[in-house]
Amino acid sequence: MSAKAIREYDGKHLLSYWLPKLAEPTSLIPSQKPATNGDSPTIAPSFRSDAKIANLQFDMALLNLAEGESWETAYNGRYLPHVDDVFNQAESANPWLLTTKLVCKPDQLIKRRGKNGLLGINLDWPGVKKWISERAGRPFKLERTTGNLHTFIVEPLVPHTQDTEYYIAIQSTREGDLIYFTHEGGVDVGDVDAKAKKLLIAVNAPYDKSQVAPALLTEIAESKHSALVDFITRLYAVYVDLHFTYLEINPLVVLGGENGERAEVFYLDLAAKLDQVAEFEAGKKWSIARLHAYPSTGSTPSWGPAMDFPAPFGRELTKEEAYIAELDSKTGASLKLTVLNPHGRIWTMVAGGGASVVYTDAIAAIGLAHEIANYGEYSGAPSESQTFEYAKTILDLMTRGAPHPEGKFLFIGGGIANFTNVSSTFKGVVRALRAYRQALLNHHVKIYVRRAGPNYQEGLRLIRSTGESLGLDIKVYGPEMFVTGIIPLAINGDTSGIQTQAASIDGVAPGPIAPEPPVIDKKLESLLAFTTKTRSFVYGMQPRAIQGMLDFDFMCKRSAPSVACMIYPFGGHHVQKFYWGTSETLLPVYTSIEEATKRFPDVDVVINFASMRSVYDSTLELMEFPQIKTIALIAEGVPERRARQILHLAHKKNVLIIGPATVGGIKPGCFKIGNTGGMMDNIVSSKLYRPGSVAYVSKSGGMSNELNNIISRATDGVYEGIAIGGDRYPGSTFIDHMLRYEKDPGVKMMMLLGEVGGVEEYLIADAVKQGQIKKPVVAWCIGTCAKMFTTDVQFGHAGSFANSDVETAEAKNRTLREAGIRVPDTFEQLPQVLSEVYNELVLCKSIVPFREPQPPKIPIDYSWAQELGMIRKPANFISTITDDRGQELIYAGMAISEVFKEDIGVGGVLSLLWFKRRLPWYATKFIEMVLMLTADHGPAVSGAHNTIVTARAGKDLVSSLVSGLLTIGDRFGGALDGAAAQFSEAYDHGLTPQEFVDNMRRKHQLILGIGHKIKSRTNPDLRVEIIKEFIFKHFPGSDVLKYALEVEKITTSKKDNLILNVDGAIGIAFVDLLRSCGAFSREEAEEYIKIGSLNGLFVLGRSIGFIGHYLDQKRLKQGLYRHPWDDISYLTPEQEAMMTGGGSSSSSSFGGGAGSGVAGSVGRTFVEGKIAIERGVEPTS
């Protein structure tokens, strides 16, 4: 929802803080940038503006009853002491409560509090406490709604007479902001619309302060004009700058002003709504004003707490509703939940804002509104995990308490999705069904599913097979079922919702094959938004949507793609690859609109995918180029003020705006906007590849796809369809498109799908009555269920809320029917009425039936075909340790959330990723010990030295780290693997320690893991001692380590420093761990040693130290390293030859002359391993 009501306490704090700071309205015209969120200097008003107000909130959770506890016990025992505590805190924070007469009232979005006995006037503090105590925590019935009173405000009494009370309100409309003012305010203000003076501040027009008094204050004494003009100007400035959508003060009291004295203005009673989606512009300003109104918490930003939007009176936000609202705030998808009747038998889980409304309408239409348990929707491609959380919440709510004797229903429904992967979301639903299987069975829940859209076949198969395996009562349907057909089917057994194609008419022979899109007269072409020649820019990086458009173009046999290029300001000039049928094609990407328009002067349509934060600026820039005639705004959450500014500027420049908050539109055979129409299989099934005779306009994007399906089955198909968007101020309205359709000879009949909220549908009725629209019109407004709810319910779209009776769906349907428009009795009868009108047009030959052509074929993308399970290919890689394909990363079968929940640590993660299994705690602890012990061994070792030198050469961290790691091998770090191999092999072959030592001596091989430069038997290495102590205490077996210690006794008897060193201890202990922990077979243990797992531990551990050395050098800002020359032995070639016997010391020539070398040989300077470097003399003959 966009416009949301706030508490009076918050509204008055906004005024109190910002009225002195805003003397003139800002952000009124497009040329102005939105005001910053920072503070503004105080500009002293000509009236009193500060406000004293105390807020008293009582915790209703204290009245939750324990089993067997009575309400009176909870109220007297817990709640009343709590009430006294709140009173004491209020006294302490607001000492003025004790010294002045007061006014108190509930602050829970309740209207007409004075007339309903909810206003305590002229009370002292004890009187206020008594008045509130009598009401707090107790139920109160207001008209049809019953709720508990728990939040109150207390203010100083302002003594005044009736003639000082005025009324002022500001309300946003499509045309501008309308200021209402009457000289008579208070409880008996009466019909404001009839008696108030009005001043309209048109959208994008400057605010003229001089117009205030002549327009609004003609019945007010001139002595008060100055203060009132200043107040109204400042009030409107706050209204604009803080994105209010409605603000009412009644009464507004003005005292003084006579004889030159200063007038004082008091706003005694206030009701207000803010545009919630404007939080990114005004949220900081809201918070600043609330900073001193609420106690700070650790999570509160420094500039103040975020604005709170309370639930309507009588419907407190439940824990579950709050949880879903929190999920919704953290995702780009839409997740909404309102619990209407927790004891109801009918629960819904519907995808799409429009679909959620028609489902609720359908339930109410068969007389079961009282059984509707919830209203909500999920849409915008939520992830599997988000859908799981949403479904789990609903299943938990509906399976609480004792089972109902008649059972319950769960309708999992929705329209035909445009881009949401149905299978992916249904995987989340399936997870929830599995988790609540027994509860669903206990409560005898019957589940009916109807869904369509991308990959719906797999999604329905998944749901169906799950129901069978779990034994749940699940019925599953696809697009062959009318969108809400499962409801009468489930309740009454009515099967009429199963749709068929339009029946042929007796006596009417089918005509030719479906025609090509009609050739449009040049004079008419300028009036039409889309033709076969229409080309577009796509603003934003949207490859999936563009590919869908190109596939549609190819299917419709267009001569050229409908997308000329992309505009993406955040990247350089480049090209993107797409498919045109089976061939590849390239589309350019430009960084500016100016470049794109110069390159493609024929393009007149832009599909703007910019976000809600940037769509305003980008659209204003687009409208600076006269060639742009149509702009589709896809973004949801555009602030209402910005949307109005866009639409009025567009009207001035003669630019057609579709949206915001729209999926777009489609003209079969010609052009489609973005993701409209969904996947190609739906394009084919709804016959959108060729024109029909019916043009429609809808608010809902999801329902527009459903209309494509309905119209294709009831008539010869869609000629054009537009979703204008679900916001309160769409850029173009129903009448704009219906008048276009009226002028288009290809349109034979029209369809309107309106909804609750707004008054645009009445313009269609007027146009029909006045003869502006002569073609047949079928219409229906969704949201007829709204009148059946006892509390206000915000439906799926921001504009779906009736502010008066005239905005209800019921009133609109009645007016449309009275104007001569064909309106069905229920939404479910829509296909029948469409078919009737179509058949009438066929009989009178306005429509000539045609034979359906062979549906065109479009190649399917490899990735999508793979997801649908239509192809297979051998994988290039095999991975058995992790899986990142789902909604949660998996480590060897363990979800990442479980990794943290069970706190398995780094050792546990390593055991999963290296060994594919959970190891015992002592094993993971030992792994962590190894990493700590091998982390570093000082800067002098080869690896650390290389890292330091590379870092000082100015290289980056990765390069420096790699230079150090590349030194690890047989001579550095290799002792771990070597020691493990030598000792385990000797032990396994049954060699005694002495035999092992003797055998190694005979082979002239060193025993790896034995020996230390510094440490000895009398000066032991404490690292080794730590390892031995841990192993002997915790390992189930330590045979190889004990064997190694026996070897140590022999080697140290020869030389004191031939001890078991830390590398040997680690390697040998690791062998014992693998063999004794029970997680590995003997073969697996040996394999892990052979493939380098021990070396991996050393690499991982030593990387910690190498990174430390790199950071240390960078922190110390050490320069380029040059090795000192005095640490290098420089040898000339003759010195080298003499030292190795390769030449005579008396020879005057180097390497020359017979007999100067060793006879019969070649002089060798040195031999290292198997590598010989040859130098010196020629061999003698």
Higher per-residue pLDDT: 846 or 1140: 846
- pLDDT score of 33 more than 90: no
One DSSP character per residue, 302-326 reads TT-PPPP-PPPTT----HHHHHHHH
Residues 378-414 have pLDDT tens digits of 888 888 889 999 999 999 999 999 999 999 999 999 9
- The predicted-structure confidence for 570-590, as pLDDT tens digits, reads as follows 888 899 999 998 899 999 999
Q: Hey, what amino acid is at 1116?
A: L
> 3-state DSSP call for residue 4?
strand
| High-pLDDT (> 70) share of the chain, % | 89
Sheet holding 656-658, edge to edge: 574-580, 583-590, 563-567, 536-539, 605-608, 630-633, 656-658
- What is the pLDDT confidence band of residue 804, given thresholds at 50, 70 and 90? low
**pLDDT higher at 403 or 803:** 403
Give the closest residue to 645 by CA, choosing from 170, 169, 27, 37.
27
More confident call, 499 vs 831: 831
pLDDT of res. 1158: 37
Task: Look at residues 815, 616, 816, 614 and name the one whose alpha carbon lies nearest to residue 731.
Answer: 616
Of the given ranges (831-835, 859-863, 1079-1083), which has the lowest mean pLDDT?
Answer: 859-863
pLDDT(1172) > 60: no
User: Is the predicted pLDDT of residue 26 greater than 80, yes or no?
Assistant: no
Residue 435: pLDDT above 70? yes
Residues 195-221 pLDDT 10s: 899 999 999 999 999 999 999 999 998
Hey, what are 479's tokens? 């697009």
**Residue 670 CB burial class (10 angstroms; 0-12, 13-18, ≥19):** buried
Lowest-confidence pick of 35-49, 223-237, 393-407, 515-529: 515-529
Average pLDDT over residues 723-740: 93
Residue 800 pLDDT grade (very low, low, confident, very high; cuts 50, 70, 90) = very low
Phi and psi of 533, rounded to 5°? Answer: -100, -5
pLDDT digits (tens, 9 = 90+) for 756-789: 888 899 999 999 999 999 999 999 999 888 776 5
φ/ψ (deg, to 5) at 104: -135, 150
Average pLDDT value for the chain: 87
Using CA atoms, how far apart are residues 1173 and 1151, in angstroms rounded to an integer? 15
pLDDT score of 803: 54
For residue 1020, give the amino acid letter. P
Please answer whether residues 888 and 755 qualify as being in contact, where contact means their C-beta atoms are separated by less than 8 angstroms: no
- Asked if 882 contacts 913 with a C-beta cutoff of 8 angstroms, the reply is yes
275 and 641 in contact (C-beta within 8 Å)? yes
Half-sphere exposure of 407 (CA within 13 A, CB side): 12
Per-residue pLDDT at 295: 67
Alpha-carbon torsion angle 874, 879, 885, 886, nearest 10: 130
Distance, in Å, from the CA atom of 509 to the CA atom of 495, rounded to the nearest integer, reads 30
Residue 792 — very low, low, confident or very high, per pLDDT cuts 50/70/90? low
Q: Give yes or no for a contact between 417 and 705, defined as CB atoms under 8 angstroms apart.
A: yes
For the CA atoms of 285, 288, 293, 295, the dihedral, rounded to the nearest 10 degrees, stands at 130
Average pLDDT score over residue span 532-548: 94
Query: What value does the mean pLDDT take over residues 627-636?
Result: 94
Q: Which pLDDT does position 1145 carry in this prediction? A: 44
Taken in order 224, 229, 230, 232, the sign of the CA dihedral is positive
Provide the pLDDT confidence category of residue 1154 given band limits of 50, 70 and 90: very low
Q: Which pLDDT score, from 0 to 100, does residue 513 have?
A: 55
Q: Is the pLDDT of residue 1166 over 60?
A: no
DSSP 1081: -
Q: Is 277 helix (H, G, I), strand (E, B) or coil?
A: helix
Q: Which two tokens stand for residue 673?
A: 């906007």
Is the pLDDT score of 1150 beyond 70?
no
Q: Which of 432-441, 522-531, 667-676 is least confident? A: 522-531
- Is pLDDT above 90 for 865? no
pLDDT at 1170: 39
Torsion angle (degrees, nearest 10) of CA 642, 648, 652, 653 = 40
905, HSE (Cβ side, Cα atoms, 13 Å): 13
**Range 835-856 average pLDDT:** 90
Cα–Cα dist 308/6, whole Å: 7
Other C-beta atoms closer than 10 Å to the C-beta of 292 total: 12
Distance CA(930)–CA(1071), nearest Å, equals: 13
Give Cα 787 distance to the centre of its chain: 32
Looking at residue 529, its amino acid is A
Q: Give the number of other Cβ atoms within 10 Å of residue 495's Cβ.
A: 10
970 against 461, higher pLDDT: 461
Query: What amino acid positions are annotated as catalytic residues?
Result: 797
Mean pLDDT of 965-973: 83
338, amino acid identity: T
Residue 32 has pLDDT above 50, yes or no: no
Name the H helices within 297-398. Answer: 319-329, 353-365, 384-398
Cross-strand bridge partners of residue 446: 409, 473
Please state, in angstroms and rounded to a whole number, the distance separating the CA atoms of residues 324 and 391: 10
Q: Is the dihedral of CA 971, 974, 979, 981 positive or negative?
A: negative
Decide which of 329 and 649 is more confident.
649
Name 864's bridge partners.
none
Q: Is the peptide bond before 251 cis (omega within 30 degrees of 0)?
A: yes
- Positive or negative, the Cα torsion across 736, 738, 743, 744? positive
Q: Are 405 and 695 spatial neighbours (Cβ–Cβ below 8 Å)?
A: no
Tell me which DSSP letter residue 969 carries: B
Q: What are phi and psi of 400, to 5 degrees?
A: -85, 160
| Residue ranges in 916-1018 assigned as alpha helix (H) | 921-933, 942-952, 957-965, 975-988, 993-1002
Q: Name the pairing type of β-strands 511-513 and 850-851.
A: parallel
Cα separation, 1162 vs 1174, whole angstroms = 7
Could you tell me whether strands 264-267 and 244-255 are parallel, antiparallel, or unpaired per DSSP bridges?
antiparallel
Average pLDDT for 559-565: 95
Q: Report, as an integer, the average pLDDT of 1099-1105.
A: 95
CA distance 758 to 808: 8
- pLDDT one-digit tens code per residue, 114-167: 888 899 999 999 999 999 999 999 888 887 788 899 999 999 999 999 889 999
Give the pLDDT band of residue 1077 (cuts 50, 70, 90). Answer: very high
pLDDT in tens, 338-348: 898 999 999 99
**Where is average pLDDT lowest: 63-67, 550-554, 1072-1076?**
63-67
Share of the chain above pLDDT 90, in %: 62
What CA–CA distance (Å, rounded) separates 857 from 873? 23
Confidence band for 523, pLDDT divided at 50, 70 and 90: very low
Helix (H, G, I), strand (E, B) or coil at 426: helix
Angle ∠(558,562,564) on CA atoms, nearest 5: 130
What b/e sequence results for 433-469 when a residue is b if at least 16 CB atoms lie within 10 Å of its CB, and e otherwise? beebbeebeebebebbbbbbbbbbebbbebbeebbee
